Amino acid sequence: MAKYLSCPWKRPSGYEREKRTKTSSKDLDKLRQLIKNFLESREVLILEYTKQSSGFRTTRRYTGLMNQFIGSLFFTAGFTHKIREARENTLAVVALGGYGRRELCFGSDVDLMVIHQGRLSPQMNEIISRTLYALWDAKLDVGHSILTTHECVRLAMNDFKVLTSVMDGHFLLGSRPFFRLFQAAFWSKIEREKKSILNQFLVFQEKRKEKYSSEEYFVEPDIKEGLGGLRDLNFMAWMARIYFGCKLLNQITQFAVFSHFGFDNLNRSGNYLLKVRNHLHLLAGRKEDKLLLSLQNKLSRSLGYVDGPYITGTDKFMRELYLHLNRIRYGHEEFLAKALDIIAPLPVSSEPTEDGLPQEFKVTKGNIVLKGGRLSEKEPLIILKALCEANQRGLFLGSGFIWEARKKIATEGKNLLGTPGAKELFLEIVFNPKNPKIIRLALEIGMITLFIPEFKRIRNLAQSGYYHVETMDLHSLKTLETVNDIARGAYDERWPLLKEAFGELENTHWLFLAALLHDIGKGYGEDHCRKGANLIPGILKRLGIEGKALEVIPFLVREHLLLAHISQRRDLGDEKTSVQVAQIIQDKDLLQMLFLLTVADSFATGPIARSDWRIMLLSELFVKVKHILVTGVLASPDATKKIEDNKRLLIDSLQAHFPKNEIINLIEQLSSRYFLNTTLEDMAEHF
């Protein structure tokens, strides 16, 4: 924030500073003692913090310490003798931004603003300068501005970051009545400019989303500005204050639409992020909000995470971090949608139709809600029915309904599992995931993990590397949604081969299940493909799925990386590459499902994995392998057996004359067609 409200200044040498500010030696000694006392108190606070690690409590205590320090500096610098001038000329010193919110972390900028009316005397300017120099000597990053009230309001209305920084300001010293008058004028201007401020809000958030959605910020998340970071909580608080008149964010629950909003969980997540941010500042030795890979191991140990049988301490830390980031991100998205529905509702010709809607429900403002009574009084299947209807109709659920559903699943989930028809309704959503918001909601309220407990292992689990842009649970949902996009023709124009392959599938349901479950093994350590495949039969049987699916879906999960690896690492011009893949898959329908799963997985992973070049390689391999499987010459079981038998016989006949490893190396360079069509005698003669 400092660069937005700063008057540039440089620290002079000790002699020049004394000459310029005319500070007496006695006053300099006092300032040095104040700095020493502040740094010692700061070290004590850091020591206490590392033991108890409370985010909000620590930042408030550090803010209080900073308030006391800055106040003492001002009075030691001569402010005591200028109190009358401050009152008469109406002057106030204000803490801004995170400091103003009392969320000051150990490496944060200290943003100050001096607002005044009238002309400041040279003596007052000197007092301000002495204080700023002392803050610099205390190794603090200080941003400051000296503005009239008119200048401040004008600047805030023209710069969104300045606006929000001043909104969060708190009074430090000077004339409190003057500060109150300034606040009244400032908020009066905000009230008149609500509409334009809303546009600034939305533009700023869109730019932020665009910047922080990349692989870079997933692997190394920004605790403050990243998606799901502290800034999302700030935005919610700013909107609550401007548009709903709530000084504190949790006061917004007085409005019915937010009455069931989970602010307790959001506060816990905010507390956790502040704790992490403070540790990060201490480890880096400076303000650092981006969780660099080089710091993740150190930070996890600093926070007390240790290695487990399936997951390292660092992965445990990143998993918990993403739990909080995802919770805040999802909460912010839900909050923003509901707030905008009140502040700036989109014009609609009429409420969505209720034709065919079960009699228990009605549609209000695009949300399915219960007609009467509480959810606890309804049949067990009511939540699943509501999710199915919302999924089919492109709607959402009412906030009260969501709150009660989450509570009911947590307390009575086992009863729902045993209710006839529950599995069928759940699978109806999986087999036809038309509404991404409802699929995500099913995850957030615990419905997916209720039916598939193994999914808990990948909840908020971050994948190492620079390919993924989502945690494993959200990536799995995105893969499921991408399969549905393929089914509805979203890629027909760009990649018509996808439509062709999907249209020839024997059973599309198997592909949807494989998409949802393909990374389920990542919660169980290394070799996730094999471990995931081993879990699938048990999951399917619990869902009431039997027959050929118990073979097909485990195969898809076990081999879901096969086509991607082969297409990017092997020579596709070599027929042997395609033959080997065909020999592994052996079935055209399996190949088509595996191809579509691989493409969906790539699209859901991130921009690097879904590059046109990678999809072209996948498509080329798919076409060649499909041709082999359709013609059946090189990949049939009989052909495969003959090829392997001829290789073995050739090795046996030649190893008396040549080293075995040389024979094998040469055999690996020959095509499968050669071993299928050439006699053993001719092969031996060729050697």
The residues pairing with 94 across neighbouring beta strands, listed in sequence order, are 113, 171
With CA atoms as reference, report the closest residue to 412 among 437, 445, 371, 367: 445
Neighbour count for residue 193 (Cβ, 10 Å): 15
| Blockwise average pLDDT, block size 10, the chain, 687 residues | 40 45 69 93 89 85 96 82 64 96 95 91 87 92 93 94 96 93 96 93 91 82 95 96 93 84 90 95 93 92 88 90 93 89 70 76 86 72 94 89 88 90 97 95 95 95 70 94 96 93 96 98 90 97 96 97 92 83 92 97 79 89 90 64 75 76 73 65 67
| Burial label, 320 (beta-carbon count in 10 A; 0-12, 13-18, 19+) | middle
d(CA 226, CA 218): 9
d(CA 651, CA 661): 10
Q: What is the pLDDT of residue 542?
A: 96
Question: Cα 298 vs. chain centroid, distance in angstroms?
Answer: 22
The CATH number that domain 211-343 falls under is: 1.20.120
Global confidence as pTM: 0.80
Q: What is the pLDDT of residue 14?
A: 47
Could you check whether 2-192 and 211-343 share the same CATH topology? no
Q: How far is CA 376 from CA 136, 230, 372, 382, in A?
A: 60, 35, 11, 10
| Burial label, 369 (beta-carbon count in 10 A; 0-12, 13-18, 19+) | middle
The answer to whether residues 374 and 404 touch, using CB atoms and an 8 Å cutoff, is yes
| Neighbouring residues of 551: CB distance < 8 A, sequence distance ≥ 6 | none
Domain ranges of the chain: 2-192, 211-343, 496-624, 637-686
CA atoms within 13 A on the CB side of 434: 13
Label residues 343-363 b or e (16+ Cβ within 10 Å = b): beeeeeeeebeeeebeebbeb
Neighbour count for residue 181 (Cβ, 10 Å): 15
Neighbour count for residue 417 (Cβ, 10 Å): 14
d(CA 230, CA 59): 13
- Taking the alpha carbons of 203, 206, 208, 210 in that order, is the dihedral positive or negative? negative
- Give 210-248 as a DSSP string: HHHTSHHHHHS-BTTTSTTSHHHHHHHHHHHHHHH--SS
CATH of the structural domain 2-192, one choice from 1.10.357.10, 3.30.460.10, 3.40.630.30, 3.40.50.150: 3.30.460.10
Q: How far is CA 216 from CA 207, 222, 608, in A?
A: 16, 10, 11
Tokens 């969320």 belong to which residue? 103
The single-letter code of the amino acid at 142 is V
d(CA 687, CA 668): 14
With CA atoms as reference, report the closest residue to 164 among 223, 205, 128: 205
Q: What are the tokens at 1?
A: 């924030």
| Neighbouring residues of 424: CB distance < 8 A, sequence distance ≥ 6 | 544
β 170-174/361-364 pair status: unpaired
Alpha helices in 77-96 (DSSP H): 83-88
| Neighbouring residues of 17: CB distance < 8 A, sequence distance ≥ 6 | 11, 23, 133
Q: What are the tokens at 634?
A: 């090189």
Q: What is the pLDDT of residue 185?
A: 95
